[in-house]
A = this chain, B = another copy of it.
């Protein structure tokens, strides 16, 4: 007998096939069916469900892989920008993502609500908290707000998908929110008058 415990020869490969197929299918249309995903991944439906017990679990996992880029961006932005500018830059990246991904972030947000007792916070909330905390400590971002508050405020980003001027509208609305989030400084900037 050669292998003692070869638990998953193709199981691991199937998992990847499923995730790749799901990612492609969901990008085309958010309501791709489980059966079509199984077919595209060339696995049986039971296999799909062995790896992801429910549709939501699959969608969530497809997403979590992409979201990590967003999460990683937070500390990088904080390194080279003051907090309030880092927050705005992070919002812009989120807007790009939200535009492409439509309602998928809603799924993530909905599931976060249910896991509040589990881990407390997800990585996205951590990323926001990182920038927010820095800004609050520096006095440039409004105190008394939580990372979850911020996520709620920018939730409109994944709802303006159909329009062609979304970058303009998105920037306009983010301006409003940034003005609400930033703390006015005692006015040091010398503004050139004309």
Q: A90: shortest Cβ distance to chain B, in Å?
A: 17
Contact call A152/B145, Cβ cutoff below 8 A: no
A109 at the interface (CB under 8 A from B): yes
Total count of chain A residues near the partner, CB < 8 A: 23
Contact call A156/B155, Cβ cutoff below 8 A: yes
Contact call A142/B109, Cβ cutoff below 8 A: no
Q: A185: shortest Cβ distance to chain B, in Å?
A: 14
Interface of A is mostly: helix
Question: Which single member of B113, B149, B173 contacts A153 (CB below 8 Å)?
Answer: B173
* Closest B residue by C-beta to A151: B156
* Closest B residue by C-beta to A162: B113
Contact call B172/A153, Cβ cutoff below 8 A: no
A36 at the interface (CB under 8 A from B): no
Contact call B173/A144, Cβ cutoff below 8 A: no
Given contacts A176-B180, A180-B181, 16 further A-B contacts (CB under 8 A): A113-B162, A142-B176, A145-B176, A149-B169, A149-B172, A152-B156, A152-B160, A153-B156, A153-B176, A153-B177, A155-B156, A176-B181, A178-B180, A179-B179, A179-B180, A180-B180
